[in-house]
Amino acid sequence: MLYRLRGRVVGKPPLHCYLALEFPGGTEVVLDVTVPLTSHERLAPEGELQELLIVPYVSEREMVLYGFVDEQDRRLFQILVDLPNVNRGLALRLLSHMRAPELVAAVAREDLSVFQNVPGIGRKRAERLVFELKQRLSELPASGEAHEARLLQQALRALIQLGLKETEARDRLERVRSRLTPETTLEDLLRWALQEPRS
């Protein structure tokens, strides 16, 4: 299965990257790779080398290569298109509006407005996306931002189970958020939050 392509950028029309691959003997093949805007804006200048992580789609009628600058965005695209009623076009629009860490954070906050800013997504669809993504985001490779969002969501649930009101729990977590590092555990975060005075 095709996973990674490395070639020279020879064109960058919106939502596309034309990637030239050179082979022994001087043969050159140019591939049209579809990319979300969040990857497009990070492409190398024309004439320079670019590596893209690929999700291929092959059917009897077409072959489309979807390319991403980082693994989180690539994996999130695969998760999105695996959801009910999410096609490749909608997944591409979502990842054109926000990168994986932003989407993960929006799901953790249950921020429907972030999804409703994407053309074709109303309130009901946004609610469904948030619900379904919550079940699947554990499959996403963690970045620093994604790890933080997941940890805060887990801590929020735990604090509510311990008897704090949601507003109080959110306030305490916001006050200790600046102390988070990639090594912070859920136990650390809960201890800090519980040591905070009531607001």
Q: Which long-range contacts (CB under 8 A, 24 or more apart) does 28-34 make?
A: 31/5, 31/7, 31/65, 32/65, 33/5, 33/65, 33/66, 33/67, 34/64, 34/65, 34/66, 34/67, 34/92
Instruction: Express as a percent the part of the chain with pLDDT over 70.
Output: 94
Q: Residue by residue, what is the 3-state secondary structure of 1-28?
A: CCCEEEEEEEECCCCEEEEEEEECCCEE
* Domains of the chain and CATH, by start: 4-68 (2.40.50.140), 71-139 (1.10.150.20), 144-194 (1.10.8)
Least-confidence region, from 17-31, 51-65, 75-89, 138-152: 138-152
In contact, 42 and 69? CB cutoff 8 Å? yes
C-alpha–C-alpha distance, residues 60 and 56, integer Å: 13
H helices present in 112-185, as ranges: 112-116, 123-136, 144-161, 166-176
Q: What angle do CA 145, 83, 160 make, to 5 degrees?
A: 50
| Averaged pLDDT for residues 7-16 | 96
User: Global pTM?
Assistant: 0.69
Would you place residue 51 in the very low, low, confident or very high pLDDT band (cuts 50, 70, 90)? very high
- Tell me 110's DSSP state: T
pLDDT in tens, 79-138: 999 998 899 999 999 999 999 888 988 898 889 999 999 998 999 999 999 999 988 877
Residue of 80, 98, 82 lying closest to 90 (CA atoms): 80
| pLDDT confidence tier of residue 146, bands split at 50, 70 and 90 | low
Comparing 23-27, 63-67, 166-170, the range with the smallest average pLDDT is 23-27
Quick check: 155 and 193 in contact, CB under 8 A? yes
